[in-house]
Structure 1
Amino acid sequence: MKAIDLFAGAGGFSTGAHMAGIEVVWAANHWPAAVAIHAQNHPGAAHACQDLHQTRWEDVPAHDLLLASPCCQGHSKARGKANGNPQHDASRSTAWAVVSAAEYHRPAFAIIENVPEFTKWTLYPAWCAAMGALGYCLTPMIVDAADCDTPQHRERLFIVAARAAHPIMLNLEKGEHVPASSFIDFGAGKWQPIEKPGRAPNTLARVAAGRRLHGDRFISSYYGAEKGGRSISRPVGTITTRDRHAIVDGDRMRMFSKQECRAAMGFPDDYCLPEKHADAIHMLGNAVGPLVAKKVITAMRAAA
Structure 2
Amino acid sequence: MKRIGIDIFAGAGGLSLGAEMAGITISHAIEINRSAVRTYERNHPDTKVICSDIRDLDPTDLKPKDKGVFIIMGGPPCQGFSLSNTRTRTMKNPNNSLFEEFLRFVQEIQPDWFLFENVYGFTNMSNGAVRRLVEICFRSLGYEVADEVLWASDYGVPQRRNRYFMVGNRLGIKFQFPQKHKKPISVWEAISDLPIVGNGEQSFEGKYLCSLAEATAYQRLMRHDSEIPTQNLVSLNNELVIKRYKHIPQGGNWRDIPDELMVNYADKERCHSGIYKRLKADEPSVVISNYRKSMLIHPFQDRGLSVREAARIQSFPDDFYFEGPISHIQQQIGNAVPPLLAKAVIQQILKLTEDHEQGQKN
8 Å contact kept, 1:242–1:278: no
8 Å contact kept, 1:17–1:293: yes
Further displaced range: 33-42 or 60-69: 60-69
Q: How does 1:22-101 map to 2 (within 5 A)?
A: 22-62=24-64, 63-81=69-87, 89-101=93-105
- The answer to whether structure 1 residue 118 and structure 2 residue 122 are counterparts is yes
Q: Shift in Å at residue 203 of structure 1?
A: 4.8
Hey, what's the Cα distance between the residues in 2 that align with 1:179 and 1:11? 24
Tell me the amino acid that sits aligned with residue 198 of structure 1: L
Hey, what's the Cα distance between the residues in 2 that align with 1:86 and 1:31? 24
Question: Helix, strand or coil for the counterpart of 1:80?
Answer: helix
Q: Which residue of structure 2 aligns with residue 297 of structure 1?
A: 346
Task: For structure 2, list consecutive stretches of 5 or more residues without a partner in the other structure.
Answer: 201-237, 254-270, 354-362
Hey, what's the Cα distance between the residues in 2 that align with 1:289 and 1:156? 10
Moved over 6 A (4+): 85-88
**Aligned in 2, Cα 1:197/1:14: closer, same or farther, shift over 3 Å?**
closer
Match among 139, 164, 181 for residue 146 of structure 2: 139
**Aligned in 2, Cα 1:138/1:246: closer, same or farther, shift over 3 Å?**
same
Q: Shift in Å at residue 225 of structure 1?
A: 4.2
Q: Shift in Å at residue 173 of structure 1?
A: 3.0
Further displaced range: 166-175 or 35-44: 166-175
Q: How does 1:208-287 map to 2 (within 5 A)?
A: 210=252, 224-225=273-274, 229-243=278-292, 244=294, 245-249=296-300, 253-287=302-336
Tell me the amino acid that sits aligned with residue 70 of structure 1: P
Q: Shift in Å at residue 47 of structure 1?
A: 1.1
**Aligned in 2, Cα 1:38/1:170: closer, same or farther, shift over 3 Å?**
same
Task: For structure 1, list consecutive stretches of 5 or more residues without a partner in the other structure.
Answer: 212-221
Tell me the amino acid that sits aligned with residue 322 of structure 2: L
**Post-superposition CA distance 1:59-100 (Å, at most 9, x none):** 113321001111122111112326xx9997111111111100
Greater gyration radius = 2
Question: Helix, strand or coil for the counterpart of 2:107?
Answer: helix
**Aligned in 2, Cα 1:169/1:119: closer, same or farther, shift over 3 Å?**
same
Q: Which residue of structure 2 aligns with residue 206 of structure 1?
A: 248
Tell me the amino acid that sits aligned with residue 84 of structure 2: A
Q: Shift in Å at residue 162 of structure 1?
A: 1.0
8 Å contact kept, 1:116–1:155: yes
**Post-superposition CA distance 1:109-162 (Å, at most 9, x none):** 001110122122233322221111101121101111111111111111111111
Match among 3, 6, 9 for residue 4 of structure 1: 6
8 Å contact kept, 1:73–1:80: no
- The structure in which a higher percent of residues are strand is 1
Question: Helix, strand or coil for the counterpart of 1:224?
Answer: coil
Further displaced range: 14-23 or 179-188: 179-188
8 Å contact kept, 2:71–2:113: yes
Q: Which residue of structure 2 aligns with residue 219 of structure 1?
A: none
Hey, what's the Cα distance between the residues in 1 that align with 2:182 and 2:121? 25
Hey, what's the Cα distance between the residues in 2 that align with 1:259 and 1:237? 16
Hey, what's the Cα distance between the residues in 1 that align with 2:166 and 2:251? 39
When the two structures are aligned, how many residues end up with a matched partner? 287
8 Å contact kept, 1:209–1:227: no
Tell me the amino acid that sits aligned with residue 110 of structure 1: F
Q: Which residue of structure 2 aligns with residue 103 of structure 1?
A: 107
**Post-superposition CA distance 1:149-187 (Å, at most 9, x none):** 111111111111111446322332324211101214574
Hey, what's the Cα distance between the residues in 2 that align with 1:168 and 1:183? 34
8 Å contact kept, 1:184–1:260: no
Hey, what's the Cα distance between the residues in 2 that align with 1:303 and 1:208? 42
**Aligned in 2, Cα 1:144/1:209: closer, same or farther, shift over 3 Å?**
closer
Tell me the TM-score normalised to structure 1 length.
0.85
